[in-house]
Chains A and B, each alone.
Chain A
Amino acid sequence: MINPLQPVGRASLAILGTAGRLTLFTAEALSHCVRPPFYGRNILRAIVEIGYFSLPVVGLTALFAGMVLALQSYTGFARFSAEGAVANVVVLSITRELAPVLAGLMLAGRVGASMAAEIGTMRVTEQIDALTTLSTNPMKFLVAPRLIAGVAMLPLLVTVADVIGVFGGYLVSVYKLGFNPSNYLQSTWDFLQLQDYLSGMAKAAVFGFLVTLMGCYHGYNSRGGAQGVGTATTNAVVSASILILCFNYILTEAFFAR
């Protein structure tokens, strides 16, 4: 007879096991982020990869997000004759929510995936083992630089995305909806508070950490050749995306709920 509780128990054990392994991995990775030696070249490479080469993707995403936001809020607010609020809605939504979340999701697809694939390939071709035999700690050499770069660079990317997103809203409002340019910019500026921007930065730092952590964790623990690397890549993107949306809610509640 099959015990109906057995699958539940097995799944719970698997989840607990994964959570435990992930916690240990995170703790070890963080300890390597603060203990020398630091691999400057690797940090620099990760910074360029995350910060510089993600600019086009993140910029385009933010541009269209800002544009569609202006269009949608205009049609919505026109019903209440509250068209003047478009600038406010755009700048608030972009800085607080859309820029960090969209940039995080884009980074998960671009950088998280490539990290998982690169580290995963190094795992299955024994390059990670080779590091150990060459007096190099693979966590310090591969994982710590990527985490540092992720936490440092996503806030910068999001700052750029804030500007571009607001600019997208401006384009649509001024050239399509006929707003007065200087009035639009004035109300954007008046409405923006430092706290909105800073909450976006805090989210970005957390998301940058989550994306690089998931990429490194799944790559580091991949096994079984090309298929294993493929699975690791998928898992890195999916888990990072879910964690971003989940932490976005938690952080929003912590910052703004009273």
Chain B
Amino acid sequence: MTEQPKIRLRDVCKSFGNKRVLNGLDLDVGAGESVVVIGGSGTGKSVTLKCILGMMRPDAGTIEVDGESLIGIGDRDRDRVNRKIGMLFQGSALFDSLHVWENVAFGLLAEHRCSRREARDLAIHKMAMVGLGSDVARLYPAELSGGMQKRVGLARAIATDPEIIFFDEPTTGLDPIMADVINDLIVNVTRTMGATALSITHDMASVRKIANRVAMLYEGRIVWAGRVDELEDCANPYVDQFVHGRAEGPIRMAVRG
């Protein structure tokens, strides 16, 4: 890659107590690209995203967004950088005391970009982009199914037109059809917005659908990275085991996470 990557992680380490979760992680995400990080449960995929967003402080290493280092950055700069990033959480993480439209418009209102009225209209527009009618706008998140909640979470993540979107296991817990619908929405939305996407998942159907490039996380570092079409017949034994879901292979499943 010759141009500057949108997101750049170098040698990132993070431990909890004496448990090493990230151990020298390197990752580049180019502008406009869709990178998917795969790996088993508890390998530190969510921790990686939280380190980039500043919710966790890595023990060592550098993290850059648009060439700007994020380590030890002040509150105000952190806020400015985070405004470039939208995120769809694993469990949707909707605010259950707020209406659906207030959830979607939350970022717009927090950034004082527009009045409540305009925010509401914008929220309904974004909800239409993910296939939600205006009739759900005044419902509460608890009144929606898991798939609908994912859509609301997606609408909320894209509401402020972020340059970068993180997807944390977007299809986990959904039936295969709804998972495919969400995958299609992710592809459409990121393409329409021209956004850079960084996703984490262990769902191979999702990987094949949304990824340009794939990186495999194992024992705290990236053991393989390449284009999605190289995934099937790559010689890497870790990737081979994971993609084909075999119990036998170099990956030892930790019984305790």
Contact = CB atoms under 8 A, between A and B. Distances in A.
Interface string B134-164: 0000000000000000000000110010000
A136 B87 CA distance: 14
Interface string A56-96: 00000000000000000000000000000000000000000
Interface string A133-161: 11110000000000000000000000000
A129 B82 contact: no
B107 interface: yes
Interface stretch (B49-57, B124-132, B202-210): B49-57
Nearest to A141: B110
Nearest to B83: A135
Given A135-B79, A135-B82, A130 B89 contact: yes
Contacts of B106: 134, 136
Nearest to A39: B110
A126 B111 contact: no
Interface residues of B, number: 24
A18 interface: no
Given A129-B89, A136-B106, 17 more contacts: A125-B93, A127-B93, A127-B94, A127-B96, A129-B53, A130-B87, A130-B89, A130-B94, A132-B53, A132-B54, A133-B85, A133-B87, A134-B156, A135-B82, A135-B107, A135-B110, A136-B110
Given A135-B79, A135-B82, A135-B83, A130 B95 contact: yes
Contacts of B90: 126
A127 B95 CA distance: 6
Interface in B49-103: 50, 53-55, 79, 82-83, 85-87, 89-91, 93-96
Interface of B: 50, 53-55, 79, 82-83, 85-87, 89-91, 93-96, 106-107, 110-111, 156-157, 160
A116 to B, nearest CB: 16
A132 B86 CA distance: 10
Contacts of B54: 132
B107 A129 contact: no
A132 B82 contact: yes
Nearest to A129: B55
- A-B pairs with lowest CB-CB distance, top 10: A126-B93, A130-B93, A134-B107, A135-B110, A133-B87, A136-B110, A126-B89, A127-B93, A134-B106, A135-B111
B156 A126 contact: no
A133 B95 contact: no
A100 B255 CA distance: 52
Q: Which of A122, A125, A134 has the most CB of B within 10 A?
A: A134
B52 to A, nearest CB: 11
B235 to A, nearest CB: 37
Q: Which of A125, A126, A129, A135 has the most CB of B within 10 A?
A: A135
Main secondary structure of the interface of A (DSSP, over half): helix
Contacts of B160: 134-135
Contacts of B89: 126, 129-130
11 contacts: A126-B89, A129-B50, A129-B93, A130-B87, A130-B93, A130-B156, A132-B55, A134-B110, A135-B82, A135-B160, A136-B106
Nearest to B50: A129
Q: Which of A122, A125, A127, A130 has the most CB of B within 10 A?
A: A130
A130 B49 CA distance: 12
A82 to B, nearest CB: 55
Interface in A225-242: none
Nearest to A132: B55
Nearest to A122: B95
B170 to A, nearest CB: 14
Nearest to B105: A134
A132 B83 CA distance: 10
Contacts of B79: 135
Contacts of A135: 79, 82-83, 107, 110-111, 160
A105 B149 CA distance: 39
Nearest to A42: B97
A129 B83 CA distance: 14
Nearest to B111: A135
A192 B167 CA distance: 64
Q: Which of B86, B93, B94 has the most CB of A within 10 A?
A: B93
Contacts of B110: 134-136
A29 to B, nearest CB: 15
Interface string A207-235: 00000000000000000000000000000
